Amino acid sequence: MSDLKTNNAPHSSVVIPHFIFGGCSFLIVAILIILADTNVLEAYFNSKIIAITHMAVLGWATMIVFGALYQLIPVVFETSLYSEKLAKITFWTSAVSVLYLTYSFWVGAFTTHLVYASVFMFISLLLFIINVILSYIKSENKNISSKFIIASIFWLVITELVGTLIAFNFKFNFLSEIHLHYLKIHASLGTIGWFLSLIIGVGSTLIPMFLISHQLKKEKLVVSFFSINFGLLCLVLNWFIFSNSLLTIICWAVIIIGVISFMSFIYESYKKRIRKKLDVGMQYTMLAIASIIMPILVSLILFLVFKIEYELLFRIATFYGFSIIFGFITTMILGQTYKTLPFIVWLEKYKNLVGKAKTPLPRELYSNKIAKIQFYLYVLSILSLALGLIIKNFIAIKIGSFSLLAVAILYNINVLKIIFHKVKIKENE
C-alpha cells in the first residue's frame, strides 16, 4: 500500500461511515434472506427478492464502493476528491434512500412509496456522480483505469434512470413493454456497466499493487474497456429498439471477450507476483475473479438452450443474479475491505508516528482468525445457497442463509475492530 497517494486522501470521516452502513446492510441482507423463507425459491421478480437485491446492491455493495472510491480517487485519478462535504451529504441521502427503497419493495408498495423512494435514490446517486466527475476533471492523468471508472459512472446514470422509469411506470403505466423487459435492462446496466466496469477500473490498479506485479500488458485492459462498453451499448440499444435475438448473442459475446481479457490481465498479474503468499483479502479477491466464470456459463445456457420450462427458466435467472451479486461482487468487496479499510484507519492513527515509533502493520488491526473463519463460512454459504437455488432444496437454502448470517456478523466484528482500533506504539530503541 506504500504506493498510494496519501497526501490527497480524504479525511477518514468521509470514508468510514460507508463501511459501517455497508456492514449493517450486509447483516440486514442476511436477515432478510432468512425472513423471506420460501420466497427465495420463487421467481426473481418476487417483491421480497427485489427488496433483498436492492439492499444487497445499494445498501451493501454500492455504499462500500462509494466509501472505497472516495479513498482511491487519489490513487486512480491522481488528484484529491472534489468535495468532502458533498460526499458526507451524499452518504446520508443514500442511507435514507436505500432503507426507504428496500422497505417499499419488501411491503410491495409499488404504486405508493416506491415512486418517492426512487426519486430520493436518484438524487443521492446524482450527488455522488457529480463529485466523481468534478474530481476527474481536475485530474491530469487520464489512464485506462480512470476511464473504466468514468464509464461506470455513465452506466450508473443510465441504470438509475431506467430504474426510476420502472418505478414511475408501476404508478402511471406509460411504458410500452412489460416490467420484466425493462427490469432485464436495468439489471444488466447495473451489474455490467456500473459494478463490473468499476471493479475492473479499481482492481486493475490495486490488485497488481497488492500482489507486487510489474511489467503487465495494459493492452488487455484497453481491449476489455472497448469490448465491454461497446458490447453493452449495442445490447441496450438492441433491447430498446430492435429486439433481435441473434444481435443479443453477438453483443453478449463481445462483452464476454472484454471480461476474459480482464481476467487474463489479472492472471498475468498473479503469475508475475513477487508476494507469493496470499493473505485473506487476496484469497477473497482471487476467488471473486475466478467466480466470474459462473455467470458467463449461466448466461450461455440462457442464450443457447431455447426450450426451457418457465419455472426452471426463472430459477436459472435467479441463480444468474445470485452468482453475480454474491459470487462475484460480494466476494470482491469482502476481500478488498481487508485490504483498504485497515490501511485507511492505520493512516489516520499512525501517519505522524512513522519513523518515530514502532507501529503495527495494517493487517494487525483486525483478527486474522475471525477473517479465516469468515472466509470458510462464506464459501459454505455460497455453495449451499447455489445448490438450493439450482435443485430447489429449502434445507440447503436454510444452511446457506444462516451461514451467510454468521459471515455478516463476523465481518461486522472485524470492521468495528478495525474502526475502533486504539493506538498502540512502542518507542524505537
CA–CA dist 267, 256 (Å, integer): 16
Look at residues 316, 310, 363, 357 and name the one whose alpha carbon lies nearest to residue 337: 363
Residue 353 is assigned to a structural domain of this protein: yes
* DSSP code of residue 147: H
Tens digits of per-residue pLDDT, 40-56? 766 556 889 899 999 99
Residue 367 is assigned to a structural domain of this protein: yes
Above 80 in pLDDT, residue 28?
yes
CA–CA dist 101, 99 (Å, integer): 6
Residue 412 is assigned to a structural domain of this protein: yes
Tens digits of per-residue pLDDT, 166-184? 999 998 998 888 878 888 8
Element housing 25 (H / E): helix 12-36
pTM of the model: 0.91
Structural domain of residue 290, as residue ranges? 278-297+309-429
- Number of Cα atoms under 13 Å in the Cβ half of residue 178: 2
CA–CA dist 28, 22 (Å, integer): 10
CA–CA dist 429, 66 (Å, integer): 41
Give Cα 143 distance to the centre of its chain.
22
Helix 63-76 / helix 144-172 crossing angle, nearest 10 deg: 150
Q: List Cα–Cα distances, 85 to 6, 91, 93, 127, 260, in angstroms.
A: 19, 10, 13, 11, 39
Residue written as cell 436518484? 122
Residue written as cell 485473506? 280
Residue 320 is assigned to a structural domain of this protein: yes
pLDDT band at 426 (very low <50, low <70, confident <90, very high): low
Give the total number of structural domains in the chain.
Answer: 1
Above 60 in pLDDT, residue 2?
no
**Across-strand partners of 426?**
358
Predicted local distance difference test score (pLDDT) of residue 306: 59
Residue 416 is assigned to a structural domain of this protein: yes
Residue 31: strand, helix, or coil: helix
pLDDT band at 73 (very low <50, low <70, confident <90, very high): confident
Residue 386 is assigned to a structural domain of this protein: yes
* DSSP code of residue 423: P
Predicted local distance difference test score (pLDDT) of residue 7: 66
CA–CA dist 280, 287 (Å, integer): 11
Looking at residues 89-93, what average pLDDT do you find? Answer: 97
Averaged confidence pLDDT in the chain: 90
pLDDT above 70 covers a percentage of the chain that reads 95
**Greatest extent of the chain over all pairs of C-alpha atoms, in Å:** 75
CA–CA dist 122, 158 (Å, integer): 11
Element housing 357 (H / E): strand 357-358
Above 70 in pLDDT, residue 158?
yes
Residue 399 is assigned to a structural domain of this protein: yes
240-249: long-range contacts, CB 8 A cutoff, minimum separation 24:
240/185, 248/303, 249/303
Residue 215 is assigned to a structural domain of this protein: no
Residue written as cell 508475475? 272
Residue 290, burial from CB neighbour count under 10 angstroms (0-12, 13-18, 19+): middle
